[in-house]
Amino acid sequence: MSGVRGAGLDPYRADVQGPLAARREYLYGLNPISKIFGPAPAMVLVLVSTTMFTPLCFVILCALLMLTGLRWQRSSLLTLALALPAFILVFGISFSLWADQRHTAHTPVVFEIGSFALTSGALDIGFTTALRLAALFGLALTGGLSSTGPDLVRSSIQHLKLPYRIGYTALAAYRFVPRFGYELESIRQAHRVRGMSPGRGPIASTRRSMGYVVPLLTGAIRHAGRVSLAMDARAFGAHDTRTERHLVPMRRRDWFFMIGFWIFTAAVLAIAIWRG
Amino acid sequence: MSLELLPGEVLLILGPSGSGKSTLALALNGLIPHAVPATLTGSVRVGERETVGASVATLSETVAMVFQDPDTQMITGSVLDEVCFGPENLGLPVAEVLERAETALREVDLWERRTENPDRLSGGGRQRLAIACALAMRSPVLVLDEPTANLDPAGIEEVYRVLARVVSRGDRSVVLIEHNLDPAMHLVDRVLVLDALGRTAFLGDAHEILRTHTAELLALGVWLPVSLMAALRLREAGIVLDPLPLTPDELTAGLRAHALPALNSEPRQTAGIWDSPILRVSNLTLRRGRREVLRDINLSLDAGSFLAVIGTNGAGKTTLVQAIAGVIPPPRGTVSLAGLDPARLDVRTLTSRVGFVFQNPENQFVTYTVADELAHGLRLRGIDAEIVDARVDDLLGRFALTEAREQHPFLLSGGQKRRLSVGTALVAGAPILALDEPTFGQDRARANELLGLLHELNAGGTTIIVVSHDLQLVADYATHVAVMRDGELVGMGPRDEILADEELLLTAGLRMPPLIRAMRGLKEHPTWRSITRLDELPGHPDDLVSTPNGGAE
């Protein structure tokens, strides 16, 4: 494994991601907590906003943050340049079609197909909704794409007083996920070979899934028991505290990012109120 | 029972399955009675501490454990983090954590790979990592509970190479529970033998006890080194080796010192019974995503054969057998089961042609009682209830499950589950039975019981295909062997031919089983060199030709 692109993308290898990232890719170097608590008020604001202005501000902010702070390849830049406008366009038009006609009937008609008229009010509602969705995604992904589970757990233990016994157990459970995927695939194959509920459609597929629960749970419980024995055998939980090799400090830049985000959010709110 | 572990010694614990070897191991570091509820009478004293009074975590500073399955011992995301996990729990300063981790990783040759995800290591690599984790605890006692049971031969070799290094330091006591004794014997100082009730049968010098109490040990149902078993068989035939060999090297040396008679070369077993291919695979290539997991595979198998597909973890053995059995649909026209293409068959027809037994038998249980489980495949076909009942009764009897007929399949013992899964695979009358790693994670007694059952089925005409990396089991039962490496079939042929090809096995990451290795060393006795199984050794004076062989052809 070389220290170039892709290496840092292994979900488990979170701790090396920060140091591996170039200085310019500053989002990776920030504390996950600041990347959650910074955008959190903005997410609430976007959720309750009714105008296009508020979500638009955050879409632009997040696009800027991600463009400057994340590691990009040419292909992913292209995706962003095309996918983001396409997303807003497609969802905007779709939501416009779904908009409640009673509220928009009085607004001017933009165009008509047969008896169906698309009004400017409907377009307004549709694009606002699409922008709100895009803003929410952006706010979540700004932190999400640049931080990892293990770092979040470590940071929560260090700064939010999360008990380490809970945090590290959660981290160990993280490793179960690919294993369960593999187990489920194997159970699915086995049941198919036994001729369980063949056929298509939601009913057959629900019946099939019900049959997977017991073997999957049995395997999971047995595996969890063994893992916990192995953890106990290595003194997990022996002492009240545990040495932390990977410190995830709250540095000045983390406070700067978080408080900066709050100030921006407050400013957007103020302007939105002022605009009426 | 009473037992004292001396500083710096290696203690081997032997006993029939169910005699409480693992229980003893768990009691040593206090997981019994702390994490696993149990009643403990008497006392376990570790260093100065009683286990009952001390917590598991504090005891783990004195006793470190390595378990059977490396997968259940991995907690973090990188090799280095994994080794640091224990010392971090002890609350040591960061510098010392790192220093311990580096020493432990260098000891098991994993320091260079410290940034990798443990999932990327081979089975042997992960078990070495588990050993490093235990070493990093710097505890004076190291307990290993069947550390090689889930490993392929190359992995077993790696683990024992590392263990030999640890033992040579002499600063730790090691408690080893192991069935695969041949590679372990040269490390072991003392042995504790438990009887079926968990009482101490023998305790003392390992080599002396194994040599002098051989008959009693066999009667207890304890597994002995294959080399020792071979010597016992030879003694029946009048070839007395003294001292009795415990490792392949000792067996070779002992036999070379003898003037061995030439053996009657038996007529070779003919391949298959009817000499008509029941299975033909042609140009099979299988992709998973962009990766080719199987590449251009061609093979054909006669009805009545017993084929073992061998290779290291990830070589594509399981995928090949799953494609043959239609569990993964193969590309059309690449597999032919007596003329039928599994890619075009529906499940009912497919299961009447080939039965497949998954590695974990629980995964294929779909009903709530053993009898229903067997009847399921027949009821799907709309067969009359009377015929179903008769057939189920017959199968219950054949697979020794009559007592358990109303039990829930999940509540059966491991061996019963395995037999039931074989029964369900055969209920529709499939002439081919394919099994994925049927001996994985089982002790040798159960593994042999199952292989015995397969042998019987095979003698009755069922074509058997097993995926395995236990080469001695392969040598004992298979008629044909297919060797896989990186998705390619690198060798396929009659068993003796393949197992004699050391270079082929080595390049596929496999190793010769102990008996074959010992016999190959007999350069002076060509008729002995090709022996692969215990029952090929002369076991009676009549088996021998009277004139001693001087080494000439």
Residues 405-464 of B with CB under 8 A from A: 410, 424
User: Within this chain, do residues B344 and B478 fall inside the same structural domain, yes or no?
Assistant: yes
pLDDT of residue B266: 57
Contact pairs from chain A to chain B, CB under 8 Å: 167
Backbone angles phi, psi at B88, to 5 degrees: -65, -40
Q: By the CB < 8 Å criterion, does B69 face chain A?
A: yes
Q: Identify whether B470 is part of a domain.
A: yes
Q: By the CB < 8 Å criterion, does B94 face chain A?
A: yes
Q: What is the mean pLDDT of residues B372-378?
A: 92
pTM of the full structure: 0.81
Helix ranges (H only) for B465-553 are: 471-477, 495-499, 502-507, 514-520, 526-529
pLDDT of residue A209: 83
Q: Do residues B316 and B294 lie in contact, with contact meaning Cβ atoms separated by under 8 Å?
A: yes
- Identify which of A233-237, B156-160, B498-502 has the greatest average pLDDT: B156-160
Q: Do residues B450 and B415 lie in contact, with contact meaning Cβ atoms separated by under 8 Å?
A: yes
Contact yes or no for A191 and B364 at CB 8 A: yes
Whether the per-residue pLDDT at A136 is higher than 90: the answer is yes
Whether the per-residue pLDDT at A68 is higher than 90: the answer is no
Backbone angles phi, psi at B533, to 5 degrees: -125, 155
The single residue listed with the structure tokens 């999360």 is A162
Contact residues, chain B, for A154 at CB < 8 Å: none
User: Within this chain, do residues B422 and B520 fall inside the same structural domain, yes or no?
Assistant: no
User: Within this chain, do residues B507 and B522 fall inside the same structural domain, yes or no?
Assistant: no
| Chain B residue with Cα closest to A17 | B115
The Cα diameter of chain B in Å comes to 74
Q: Identify whether B5 is part of a domain.
A: no
Q: Identify whether B3 is part of a domain.
A: no
Indicate the pLDDT class of residue B483, thresholds 50, 70 and 90: very high
Contact yes or no for A233 and B65 at CB 8 A: yes
Contact residues, chain A, for B363 at CB < 8 Å: 183, 186-187, 190-191, 215, 219
H helices then E strands: how many in chain B? 22, 19
Contact residues, chain A, for B77 at CB < 8 Å: 10-15, 150, 175
Q: Which residue would you say has higher pLDDT here, B160 or B47? A: B160
pLDDT of residue B42: 62
Q: What is the mean pLDDT of residues B427-436?
A: 91
CA distance B361 to chain A (A): 9
pLDDT of residue A12: 46
What is the C-alpha to C-alpha distance for residues A12 and B80, in angstroms, rounded to an integer? 12
CA-closest candidate to residue B354, choices B432, B424, B278: B432
User: Within this chain, do residues B442 and B535 fall inside the same structural domain, yes or no?
Assistant: no
What is the C-alpha to C-alpha distance for residues A217 and B354, in angstroms, rounded to an integer? 29
Residues 186-205 of A with CB under 8 A from B: 186-187, 189-196, 198
User: Within this chain, do residues B360 and B326 fall inside the same structural domain, yes or no?
Assistant: yes
Which residues have C-beta within 8 Å of that of residue B388, sequence separation ≥ 6?
B375, B378, B379
Indicate the pLDDT class of residue B39, thresholds 50, 70 and 90: low
Q: What is the mean pLDDT of residues A40-58?
A: 93
Q: State the total domains in chain B.
A: 3
User: Within this chain, do residues B505 and B520 fall inside the same structural domain, yes or no?
Assistant: no
B455 φψ region: left (φ > 0), alpha (ψ -120 to 50), beta (else): alpha
Q: What is the mean pLDDT of residues A270-274?
A: 92
pLDDT of residue B119: 83
Contact yes or no for A235 and B58 at CB 8 A: yes
Query: How crowded is residue A258: how many other Cβ atoms within 10 Å of its Cβ?
Result: 21
| Chain B residue with Cα closest to A179 | B71
Q: What is the mean pLDDT of residues A235-249?
A: 85
Whether the per-residue pLDDT at B553 is higher than 60: the answer is no
> Which token pair is B135?
């070493």
The number of C-alpha atoms within 13 Å of B226 and in the hemisphere containing its C-beta is 25
CATH number reported for the structural domain that contains residue B158 in this entry: 3.40.50.300
Element (H, E) at B174: strand B173-177
Contact yes or no for A193 and B350 at CB 8 A: yes
Cα-Cα-Cα-Cα dihedral sign, residues B290, B293, B298, B304? negative
Q: What is the pLDDT of residues A251-262, one digit of tens each?
A: 899 999 999 999
What is the C-alpha to C-alpha distance for residues B352 and B511, in angstroms, rounded to an integer? 36
CA distance B458 to chain A (A): 22
**Angle at B89 (CA atoms; ends B84, B95), nearest 5 degrees:** 50
Contact residues, chain B, for A244 at CB < 8 Å: 88
CA distance A128 to chain B (A): 39
Of A16, A187, A237, the CB nearest to B115: A16
User: Within this chain, do residues B479 and B538 fall inside the same structural domain, yes or no?
Assistant: no
Q: What is the pLDDT of residues B314-355, one digit of tens each?
A: 788 999 999 999 998 899 999 998 888 988 888 888 888 999
Domain segments of chain A as ranges: 11-147+247-267, 156-232
Q: Do residues A180 and A271 lie in contact, with contact meaning Cβ atoms separated by under 8 Å?
A: no
User: Within this chain, do residues B141 and B161 fall inside the same structural domain, yes or no?
Assistant: yes
- The range of the structural domain enclosing residue B422 comes to 277-512
Q: What is the mean pLDDT of residues B49-65?
A: 72
User: Within this chain, do residues B488 and B539 fall inside the same structural domain, yes or no?
Assistant: no
> Which token pair is B44?
């376990």
pLDDT of residue B82: 92
CA distance A208 to chain B (A): 10
Whether the per-residue pLDDT at B465 is higher than 90: the answer is yes
Q: Do residues B191 and B181 lie in contact, with contact meaning Cβ atoms separated by under 8 Å?
A: no
Q: Do residues B453 and B481 lie in contact, with contact meaning Cβ atoms separated by under 8 Å?
A: no
Q: What is the mean pLDDT of chain B?
A: 85
Indicate the pLDDT class of residue B34, thresholds 50, 70 and 90: low
Q: What is the pLDDT of residues B493-544, one digit of tens each?
A: 998 888 888 899 888 888 888 888 888 888 888 888 878 888 888 877 666 6
Q: By the CB < 8 Å criterion, does B72 face chain A?
A: yes
